Each structure stands twice: as C-alpha cells, then as structure tokens.
Amino acid sequence: MKKLLDQITEEVQKAFAASGYEEEYGKVTLSNRPDLCEYQCNGSMAAAKKYRCAPIQIAGKVAEELQKSAVFEEVLAVNPGFINLKVSSSFVQTYLRKMQKDERLGCDKADKPRTIIVDYGGPNVAKPLHVGHLRSAIIGESVKRLGRFAGHEMIGDIHLGDWGLQMGLIITELKRRKPELPYFDESFTGDYPEEAPFTISELEEIYPTASARSKEDEDYKNEAMEATYLVQHGHRGYQAVLQHILDVSVADLKKNYANLNVEFDLWKGESDAQPYIPGLVKMLKDKGFAYESEGALVVDVKEDTDTKEVPPCMILKSDGASLYTTTDLATIVERMKLYRPDEMIYVVDKRQEMHFVQVFRCARKTGLVAADTGLKFLGFGTMNGKDGKPFKTREGGVMRLEHLLSDINEEMYRKIVENSEAEIPENEARKTAEIVGLSAVKYGDLSNQASKDYVFDVERFTSFEGNTGPYILYTIVRIKSILNKYREMGFDPEAGMIGMPGNETQKNLMLRLARFNGAVLNAFEELAPHKICAYIYELANAFNKFYHETKILGEENAEVRSELVAVLVLTKRVLETCIGILGFEAPERM
C-alpha cells in the first residue's frame, strides 16, 4: 500500500500541475502546527521565486484547485504562502479499511529483497556476558527483525570472540590447576574425554583469575601467549580444551540470549575466519596492496578528503601474528563466499568506529566486496549509570547481564503486585514481571538514538507512565481486556469494520494508525529502531486519549460500537507488530 503521506503528496502535486506550476513544489509534510492542520505544503515559497510572484498567490490558486479533491476536508492558503491541509474522514477510513484487511497492515514487502548480514552480539567466549554486550544484542536483534519485516533476507551472525589471548590464559590456568589432565600430556595419543574439565561457573572464574595473574607475572603471561600461539597452530590437546571452552560457553550464551529474546541464525566466530587468512594475505601481497612498514604488513587506506588521520590497515604484525582487522577482513571473505550478501551491518560500540573505517576501506580497495555491496557501521554509545559513568555494580565492578535482568525483574514484580487490583498468583506475577521487565530494558535502550550514550535508569524504565516499555504494554493489555469483555458480551471483535471517525480524537488516532507503513520503512532505511519507539509512543498516547474520552463498550448503537472496537483491534495489531520488531511481547494482563 502506498504511504498515506505519499498519496497526499501526489494529490497536492497534481493540483500544482493543474494550476500551471511544476509538480515538484507539491511536497507535503506533517504539520508542525497540529492545532491548525494535519499536513502542510510549503512549496509555494520556493515556487514563488521561480514564477516571480507572491507565494500566497500560488498557494491560493493551488488551494482552490484542491477544493475539488476528495482527499481533503479543509484546504487553506495562509500567509505568507503555506497551504494548510486536513484530510477527509472518508479518506482516512478507506485507508484504514485496506490496512485492516491486509495481514501486513499495509506495509508492502521490498520488491527487490536484499540479503543482509547483521553482525551483532559479539560476545567473547569464556568471559561472562556483561552489560556492554547488551546494547549490541538489543539493537542488532531489532535491526534484523525490522529488515525481515520489510521483506529482506536477514542473517544474524553472533560473531563470537573466540580467537584471542583469553584462550591461552584459560589453558595456562587450567594446566596450573590440573596438570594431570591428558590435554597437557604431550605424549598422549588417545581420545580426549568428552566431558569438559570445568563447568560454566568455573570457567567464568578461571578467566578473570588468569587475566589478573598474567598482569603480575611475566612468565605466566608468556606462557599464556605461547599457549595462544599453540592453540592457533594446531596443538591437539589445546584444541581439545578450546572445543570444551566453546561448547560450555555457547550453551550458556544460548540460554542468556534466549532470555533476551535474541536469536542468531549463525553462531560463527573469529576462529571460523582463520582459514581464509593465508589466502587473503597472499592476494594482498600479490596484487601489490600490502607493503611492509617497520616489519609489519599494512595496506594504506587514507583518502584525500580525510579530515582526521586514518592510519594504515594492519594485516600482520612483525612477528607474523594476525590482528582484529585481519580477522574481520577474513570474515568478509568468508561471508562473500558462503552467503553472497548485498550488505553487511555491524552493530558495535561506536568506539570501534576507526577499526571499521579501516576494514571497510581496505575491503573495498582490495576488491573483497563488490562495488555495490553495502558495508555499514551502526555504532552505539555507552550505557551509563545514574552517575553518568559506564554502568557498574554497586561495588563498582562490571555488571553481569544476568544480574541486571534479575534486578529489573524484581523491581517489575514489586510494581505489578502493587498495581494490580485483583490478586495475581505468584507464578503468574513472576512470569509477567519477566515479560514486562524485558520490555523495560529493551525499550529503555531502543528509544534512544543508537549512537547516543544513555543513562540506564531502572526507576524510569520500569515506570508504567511516560515513554517506557511498560507503558506501551499497559496500553496493549488495556485493549486486550476491553476486547475480552466485548467477547464476553457475545460479540466478535474481528467482525467490525473501521467506521468514520466520530470526533477529532478518534481521527487523530486513525491518522496515526495510517502512518504505520511509513514509520516502519523509514526506520529500516535509517536503521533507526528509535523511530519505531517514537511512533508507538505517540500512537499509545493517541489511543489513551481516545480511550478516556470515548464510551466504547458502553456505546448503545451496536454498529457504532463494533466500529470503535475495530479501531481497537487495529491499534492492538499495530502495537503488537511494532513491539515484535523491537524484540519483546505483551503479557495477557499486568
């Protein structure tokens, strides 16, 4: 379905043409004076320069032409040359009726679907998930769902950090604790045990211990570096340990991401890209892209228009070791080979921006991607505590994701018990608290423009009022409860057709509903889930105003009542679709 705004614009453009002006001046925008009109066209101002006359003259002529249109109920030319527009009720009604009948709510699927890989999550194996990984998971998941809804082939890849010094550290520490294990017996040729020699909680304790020790003990650190080298170069026993680390970590990560309603299509990691490195290095050398600089192998990626220095992209260190950039380049090679994506989107902390500038430029320059393959960096800001500093535990340590979520759920549980009129059974209240708690965390994050830092404010995020997840869910639950009552009265909520708006409040709600497809497509184009949040916040406000002013189930005329219910059903569908895109859902009651 064509966007409502596009339909309106076309109508105004036709009127410009019919009045003897170029139609490009007929662009329409949302009104910035909603008290006066719903839409406006400012094109007469620009047209006046070209046609050398007063803008109000043009506006007047076009407005007169528009009187004939069935799209508008009111058209006014006002000084100095605006055209103020109110659309007709029947136009909105017709639009919503089409939306009502369409399972996609009027949002067409992309006619040229693209294959898009979203690289998000990016946790580091063997290190506990902490709040730093939260944003990537939340934003990435939403971008993936947004693209999927828009009709694209979206592939979410977790891109595990499974190729670093942390592996060597864990191996070294394990060897110190349990030297008798067969992995450390160089003469061992049998099969290694299937059972991992540690649990996830042991693993999560081993890494920080080893990391701390390596900072104090030079020999220990050297041993860990040696172990890292060996595991990366085929040491049989160490690779068996690595596999255990991966298995144990991945099982735990899956559980944690499932709690966040985050799902990946690919569970690949940095290690999967390693086999592509030798070929990559050879190509870069053979084609003359890479050269030696102070022993290291680098590719120049600076451009004439750079305003700040972009250092060369490092491919190999002087000792021949590969780096983060190398792995990301090799991952691009792997992805192009296996999935042929039209685009790759990286949802990563914005402090890594320079890294991606280098990687993207290098990939383009050296032809790793086709000229029209999109490479996008969606950098996000830091999640801060109320003190404005990166979010920490009360003791000042790194907050584990699990703890953060359980704190939120506890707070949510308290509010739900406090709020509900009827007695809710404990286990239902707990379950609801989890659902609503997730909305609090996700909406609290997604409602901010991704690139900005924001303050993680448990009090505000869990509030049932204001621009919060719980407020949106509350609105949906309110609708569900009215629909249930309507059903209990013996009627089918799905049976009603959208009617003509009975008053301004209802019309305003209907106009907002009609903007659904525009809001979704625009959010996807700009990779901006916060625009979906802004849209549903306004929609929820428009709905609640309507709810407070309107007798719905109390309406005596059954026909009118069924039309009001139809608006409720549509509002619920739109809100539920949007929160689905944001990555959470609504409970039955709260």
Binding site for ligand ARG (CB under 6 A): 119, 122, 124, 159, 161, 328, 346, 348
Q: Is 502 exposed, middle or buried (0-12, 13-18, 19+ CB in 10 A)?
A: middle
Report the Cα–Cα distance between both ends of the chain, in Å, rounded.
35
**Integer Cα distance of 589 and 416 in angstroms:** 10
Tokens of 188: 């061992």
**Integer Cα distance of 564 and 371 in angstroms:** 52
Of 155 and 429, which CB lies nearer to ligand ARG in the complex structure?
155
Of 135 and 478, which CB lies nearer to ligand ARG in the complex structure?
135
Of 70 and 338, which CB lies nearer to ligand ARG in the complex structure?
338
Tokens of 289: 């892209």
Of 161 and 237, which CB lies nearer to ligand ARG in the complex structure?
161
Helix-strand-coil split of the chain, %, nearest 5:
55, 10, 35
The residue sitting closest to ligand ARG, measured at its beta carbon, is: 122
Q: Is 474 exposed, middle or buried (0-12, 13-18, 19+ CB in 10 A)?
A: buried
User: How far apart are CB 113 and ligand ARG at their closest, in Å?
Assistant: 24
Tell me the HSE value of 336 on the side-chain side, using a 13 A CA sphere: 19
Of 8 and 273, which CB lies nearer to ligand ARG in the complex structure?
273
User: How far apart are CB 346 and ligand ARG at their closest, in Å?
Assistant: 6
User: How far apart are CB 122 and ligand ARG at their closest, in Å?
Assistant: 3
Tokens of 272: 């999967």
Helix axes 236-259, 165-177, angle to 10 degrees: 110
User: How far apart are CB 238 and ligand ARG at their closest, in Å?
Assistant: 21
- Amino acid making up residue 448: N
Kindly state the DSSP code that residue 499 receives in the 8-state scheme. -
Of 360 and 546, which CB lies nearer to ligand ARG in the complex structure?
360
Of 87 and 399, which CB lies nearer to ligand ARG in the complex structure?
399
Residue 326 · residue 366 · CB < 8 Å: no
Of 327 and 517, which CB lies nearer to ligand ARG in the complex structure?
327
**Integer Cα distance of 123 and 134 in angstroms:** 10
User: How far apart are CB 45 and ligand ARG at their closest, in Å?
Assistant: 47
User: How far apart are CB 156 and ligand ARG at their closest, in Å?
Assistant: 12
**Integer Cα distance of 558 and 536 in angstroms:** 29
User: How far apart are CB 557 and ligand ARG at their closest, in Å?
Assistant: 58
User: How far apart are CB 260 and ligand ARG at their closest, in Å?
Assistant: 16
